[in-house]
Structure 1
Amino acid sequence: MRRLTVSLFWRIYLLNAVVLVVATISLVFGPVSVSTQPVFAEIIVLVIGLAALLALDGFLFRIGLAPLRRLSRAMTSVDLLRPVSRPVAAGGGDVGEVIRTFNAMIDRLESERGRSAARALSAQESERRRIAQELHDEIGQTLTAVLLDLKRVSDHAPRQVASELREVQETTRSSLDEIRRIAHRLRPGVLTELGVRSALRVLASDTAERAALQVDYTCDPDLPELDAETELVVYRVAQEALTNITRHARAERVMVSLDRAPHRLELLVRDDGVGMAGADEGAGLQGMRERALLIGARLTLDTPPSGRGTDIRLDIPLASAHPAAADTRSVTQESP
């Protein structure tokens, strides 16, 4: 059986209304009355007065409890991955104190989630570097040795066997190239050595080659100098966005741009695929949102003006950025 729930407003209002109704009835029929036998006109006046009091009472209660309604709406919309504005603690008293306490609680939760996400992502990056190193040093060297052994054996084998061995060599070489690509995606050395501009250009080129997509990459020549953490977040968000596009979007063309706007830096990844209407956000998008929070950025998903595909936009505030020398590189990378 479903339990009947009554809002706080109606609980207080109905209790107050009962008091007023009982007081009015007592005034009409009790010993303290306007006249010994109340006349109809007096009852009408009292009823009208009671109705006016109830209306005024309800109006005042609505005003007094409005902050609690705003707090209730804020509670239902809280998402630590998508920070929203806090309810205003207007006035003093208990209601204002409840709102201030709620805001302080959300601040603590967001701060703790940010620290937890930073630790988790730092551990993830360390594990990526370790796996990439092992792929390069262990498996890569082992496959290289296998290739050399296959070549040595095929040089002394009969023609038919040598032909088969060469096919095995090509398969092994393809596997070695794929392992190197995986290691590069796990640990983009170009990001550390040349910065996010060049790293994004290489990422666009690799995606175009691997997925047979047309990938256009442009970079604002007047970008500020970014710290290592911000560059890593920009790169990983672009990487995850391109990965999602190649897996799910069924797109033919992708645009990646890194531009400077007043007081912010904007990364935009736009595709012309099937879009995300009605689709649930997966772990990839949640990971991008967590990375965005680490640097105080905002990640949004929209539909492009064309009405097809998806815009993944990362807005990064530049309050703490330092101007850098102009980088005149602006590249358009397309698949052959």
Structure 2
Amino acid sequence: MSLKTKILIINIFSIFIITLGIALEIKFVLTQNLEDRLILRTSNMASILSDSIIEPLLSNNVYLTHQILTQYKENNSEVGYIDILSNQNEVLSSTFSNGFPKELYLLQISKTESNVAVFSSEMGKFIDVKYPIADGSLGYIHIGVTEREVGQRIQEIMEKILFLSFFINLLASLLLYKLTNTITANLKKLTLYAKNIALGNKVLEPIIKTNDEVRELFISFKHMLKALERSSKEEIQLITKLKDEEIKRELLKRTMETLEKERKRLSMEIHDSVMQNLASINIMLKIFQSKLDQKEKLDLENIQKLIEATIEELRNIANNLRPPQLEKLGLKSSLESFFNETEKRHNLKTNFDFSISEEKLDWTWSINIYRIIQEAISNIVKHSGANNAFVSIKEINDKIEIEVKDDGEGFDVDETLSKKSNRLGIVDMKERTKTYGGEFFISSTKGGGTIVKISLPKPKNDDIG
């Protein structure tokens, strides 16, 4: 069952529950109101009837009294019976042809201050209205009316309410389906786009037609990609134009530092701007969720999981742009975190050996080593098909020795370096190594895995800061 179908079912069920509650409340209020009106109408009837039987009662004309009561009962369909009791609780006259019911007699002679009594019988529910004849000197008249008319009226009203609620439910369901379809479709497009960008795949930009937070999120993401692409192109153009190696390395070093600053800015923009837009979407869903029944709220978690997956992808991109642990916890912890994340996402297990002192490594050296290893692991994930990687960082003879191995398929190094489209990762590692006065070596055989070795001189005092 799709997410949109689940939300539609939740909406229909919720509106049904709400409508049912409202209908029951309306039914209760209408019943009270119609019963009050029925009692008032019966009291008026009793008042008129009592005036018309005073003379027959005074003349002790039982036959005429019975005829008047019977005629009133026949002319009023809601009247079930009419009887007259004396002050000594004697039945003077009634419309009952088969004897006066004992239960009704006991009810009418019971001492009560109320002139209205409700009771049930085989014929249904009755309201017994008591009214004095000649201010009670000649006894009391009792009229029993049924609630059939009240029930029929309430049934008609309830049918109209349920009929109207059906159309309201249908309209709300259509609007909700359209809204949910728009949100989920755009989020899926954006999530897939972010995943492909993170993996380095070239894909067409998704078409986001809505003018909401999702579109703002996409625009911010697109601006970030363009800024990174522009910075990379400018870096490559400047490097290729320079022939002097020393100037070239110095400029490359400064370019890398500038690029790292730009990555930091973009990483902060993702956290502070892009993710805020996603938070707005989440708030919108929570507002809708609060309108549902408590038991149904859990079914909206699929949309929130989709948002969380998008946030997770953006967080990974932001972390790749600027590893947060590097400044706080150092190079070793940052690499361990990176290896753990790679194992979770790509099932590549990394055996890590770190045996150098980080005290002399400032941010520039740490991020440079981090980027080299990050690129090496990225190449393993994309091209090697390896299950295991082996990374070691050691200090030997005043040099930092880095080695990255894998048990993958291997490749022809010369053939790969001859293809510009496939050698950018290797070139990046090599140029970074040379920029800091190091040596770069790569070897690989088909079916025998790949080894990348990097030797960097320990940073001097003037390299730190």
Q: Secondary structure at the match of 1:257?
A: strand
Following TM superposition, by how much is the alpha carbon of 1:311 offset from its aligned partner in structure 2, in angstroms? 1.0
| Alpha-carbon distance in structure 1 between the residues aligned to 2:286 and 2:339 | 34
Within the candidate set 413, 421, 433, 1:292 is matched to 433
Within the candidate set 276, 279, 282, 2:416 is matched to 279
| Alpha-carbon distance in structure 1 between the residues aligned to 2:354 and 2:249 | 29
| Alpha-carbon distance in structure 2 between the residues aligned to 1:190 and 1:271 | 25
1:193-208 correspondence runs (5 A): 193-208=328-343
Within the candidate set 342, 345, 348, 1:210 is matched to 345
Following TM superposition, by how much is the alpha carbon of 1:318 offset from its aligned partner in structure 2, in angstroms? 2.4
1:239 matched to which residue of 2?
374
| Alpha-carbon distance in structure 1 between the residues aligned to 2:459 and 2:433 | 15
CA 1:202–1:321 in structure 2 vs 1: closer, same or farther (change >3 Å)? farther
Q: Secondary structure at the match of 2:448?
A: coil
CA 1:263–1:312 in structure 2 vs 1: closer, same or farther (change >3 Å)? same
CA 1:222–1:161 in structure 2 vs 1: closer, same or farther (change >3 Å)? closer
Following TM superposition, by how much is the alpha carbon of 1:158 offset from its aligned partner in structure 2, in angstroms? 6.3
CA 1:130–1:113 in structure 2 vs 1: closer, same or farther (change >3 Å)? same
Aligned pairs, how many?
215
Within the candidate set 303, 320, 326, 2:460 is matched to 320
The one-letter code matched in structure 2 to 1:279 is T
| Alpha-carbon distance in structure 1 between the residues aligned to 2:264 and 2:424 | 21
Aligned residues of 2:409 and 2:447 also touching (Cα < 8 A): no
Following TM superposition, by how much is the alpha carbon of 1:224 offset from its aligned partner in structure 2, in angstroms? 6.2
1:65-214 correspondence runs (5 A): 109-157=244-292, 165-214=300-349
Following TM superposition, by how much is the alpha carbon of 1:148 offset from its aligned partner in structure 2, in angstroms? 2.7
Aligned residues of 1:223 and 1:260 also touching (Cα < 8 A): no
CA deviations on 1:156-205 (whole Å, 9 max, x unpaired) are 23699856632111100111111111111111121112221111111111
Following TM superposition, by how much is the alpha carbon of 1:223 offset from its aligned partner in structure 2, in angstroms? 6.1
Within the candidate set 269, 277, 281, 2:404 is matched to 269
Higher relative contact order (CA 8 A, sep 6+): 1
| Alpha-carbon distance in structure 2 between the residues aligned to 1:151 and 1:120 | 45
| Alpha-carbon distance in structure 1 between the residues aligned to 2:296 and 2:435 | 57
2:160 matched to which residue of 1?
none
CA 1:135–1:201 in structure 2 vs 1: closer, same or farther (change >3 Å)? same
| Alpha-carbon distance in structure 2 between the residues aligned to 1:189 and 1:241 | 20
Following TM superposition, by how much is the alpha carbon of 1:209 offset from its aligned partner in structure 2, in angstroms? 1.2
| Alpha-carbon distance in structure 1 between the residues aligned to 2:357 and 2:323 | 23
**TM-score of the aligned structures, taking structure 2 as reference length:** 0.43
Aligned residues of 1:273 and 1:310 also touching (Cα < 8 A): yes
User: What stretches of structure 1 move > 4 A for 4+ residues in a row?
Assistant: 158-164, 221-224
Q: Hey, which of these two has a bigger chunk of strand by percent?
A: 2
The one-letter code matched in structure 1 to 2:457 is P
Following TM superposition, by how much is the alpha carbon of 1:254 offset from its aligned partner in structure 2, in angstroms? 0.7
Moved more, 231-240 or 158-167: 158-167
Work out which of the two has the higher radius of gyration on C-alpha atoms and give 1 or 2: 2
Aligned residues of 2:408 and 2:449 also touching (Cα < 8 A): yes
| Alpha-carbon distance in structure 2 between the residues aligned to 1:159 and 1:194 | 43
The one-letter code matched in structure 1 to 2:375 is E
2:161 matched to which residue of 1?
none
CA deviations on 1:213-268 (whole Å, 9 max, x unpaired) are 11111211656622322211110001111111111111111111111112211111
Tell me the C-alpha RMSD between the 2 structures: 2.7
Aligned residues of 1:151 and 1:169 also touching (Cα < 8 A): no
Specify every segment of 5 or more residues in structure 2 that has no aligned partner in the other structure, as ranges. 1-241
| Alpha-carbon distance in structure 2 between the residues aligned to 1:127 and 1:297 | 25
Following TM superposition, by how much is the alpha carbon of 1:307 offset from its aligned partner in structure 2, in angstroms? 6.6
| Alpha-carbon distance in structure 1 between the residues aligned to 2:292 and 2:275 | 25
